[in-house]
Amino acid sequence: MKFTDFNFHESLQEGIMSSGWEDATPIQEQVIPMILEGRDIIASAQTGTGKTGAFLLPILQKLITGSSSDHHINALIIVPTRELAVQISGQLDGLTYFTDVSSIAVYGGGDGSSFVQEKSALSKGADIVVSTPGKLISHINMGYVKLKELSYLILDEADRMLDMGFHDDIMRIISSIPENRQTLLFSATMPSKIRTLAQKILKNPAEVNIAISRPPERIKQEAFIIYETQKNPLVKLLLKRSTFKSILIFCSKKLSVKQLTRELKRAGFNAEEIHSDLEQSQREEVLRQFSSKHLPILVATDILSRGIDIDQIELVINYDVPHDGEDYVHRIGRTARAETDGTAYTFVTEKEQNKMAQIEKLIGREVPKSKVPDELGPVPSYQPRERRSSGGGGGNGGGGGRRKPFRR
């Protein structure tokens, strides 16, 4: 289905064309007509399925062609991270270039001038506000945020927001907006807490499920069964022998990100780090260098696993096994975007083997175990409890079994 088939307003269609969008994704085909009809929506859709366009386009169409308040906020998009707020704001800038729709992104980490701009927009009114929960609450508490005429509320990455402890902030925001509104809830997963939230804030919603709990086939997945002390030597060895030009390394802890980045720099690699301890300007500069391919190696926390749209990342390394399968899918989903191929390595220590087995169960396949280079010494066997209890032996960790030759 082409975007021209939706009969969007001419000014919006120009923005769509200028953004290079031609064919609608499955979630866009299903969700856009229902949003245009005024339905509340609960949608399960992972990053990369086109969900941002699925809610931006119909909301923009309604703002352009319908009646809206000039001195109030008409649409509010709540997101878990400032990176996602910046990304959505950037897409809005492109889509609204030929329209009169105004928008602003509101998030923490800015300087005094950004606060002044936010206060001005929130007090004088803007068509669309994209904001993180905590930052918006800080403005609401000052009493000048004009939400009484709000028509559209969108919660994006709702499961991530609840995981980050934003439930009370979300409910505080909702208590400040009209009950008579259209509400759209997007989530990568649908645990019970999301269902409970949906029951509280949605009215007779249409439900759409486009979630894909399995990585694309074009991602080549490999796992290395190692000891904890072998992680840094293996990273450096892989990078030394790699021909990949864009590499994203995920660590589960900020301390690991900092330590690994220092170690890589000492070894002569061009690497930088990104995590919540950095100032916003620093994070934006690091992302700019990485996305422009001036920085080949980026070490990050899960802050980048969702909501960051950077094409042509060739290799993702899971320095730590993610806490759950959905995070694994989101992490390795940073590669093989825009119809390209990608590779994902995962380091699995003895303590992480059970988590890896659970991930394999979720994605419905065994991740091949690659041979660890001989110079790193002996390695453990892959024997998670789940496999032992079911009678499966898994691959052995000493280089035999199903292990594949090391990729050079």
The C-alpha atoms of residue 377 and residue 357 are separated, in whole angstroms, by 24
Which two three-digit tokens encode residue 104?
A: 């602003």
Q: Are 264 and 233 in contact (CB under 8 A)?
A: no
Mean pLDDT by 10 residues, the chain (408 residues): 94 92 90 96 80 95 84 93 88 94 86 82 92 94 92 94 91 95 90 90 92 72 96 96 93 92 96 85 87 93 66 90 79 72 93 91 89 95 68 39 37
DSSP states of 139-175 as a string?
A: HHTTT----TT--EEEE-SHHHHHHTT-HHHHHHHHT
Query: What is the reported pLDDT for 153?
Result: 98
Q: For position 19, what pLDDT does the model report?
A: 86
Pairwise CA distance, residues 328 & 318, whole Å: 8
Return phi, psi of residue 77, to 5°: -115, 115
Predicted local confidence at residue 391, as pLDDT: 41
Q: Which amino acid is at 237?
A: L
Domains of the chain plus CATH, in order, are 3-209 (3.40.50.300), 219-389 (3.40.50.300)
The three-class DSSP label of residue 20 is: coil
At residue 386, φ and ψ (nearest 5 deg) are -60, -40
Residue 402: predicted pLDDT: 36
CB 257 within 8 A of CB 299: yes
Tell me which residue has tokens 């030597």.
Answer: 233
Question: Do 346 and 356 contact (CB within 8 A), yes or no?
Answer: yes
DSSP string, 101-126: --EEEE-SS--HHHHHHHHHHHHH--
CB 24 within 8 A of CB 32: yes
Rounded to 10 degrees, the C-alpha dihedral 125/127/131/136 comes to 20
Place of tokens 């950004």: 114
Per-residue confidence (pLDDT) for residue 392, from 0 to 100: 40
Give the model's pLDDT for residue 405. Answer: 38
Helix (H) or strand (E) holding 200: helix 192-201
Residue pair 361/336 in contact (Cβ under 8 Å)? The answer is no
Please name the amino acid found at residue 198.
Answer: A
Instruction: Report whether 153 contacts 177 (CB < 8 A).
Output: yes
Q: Which tokens is 30 given? A: 């299903």
In the DSSP assignment, the letter for residue 405 is: P
Residues facing 23 on adjacent strands: 2
CA pair distance 363, 244, nearest whole angstrom: 25
Strand, coil or helix: 63: helix
pLDDT at 339: 57
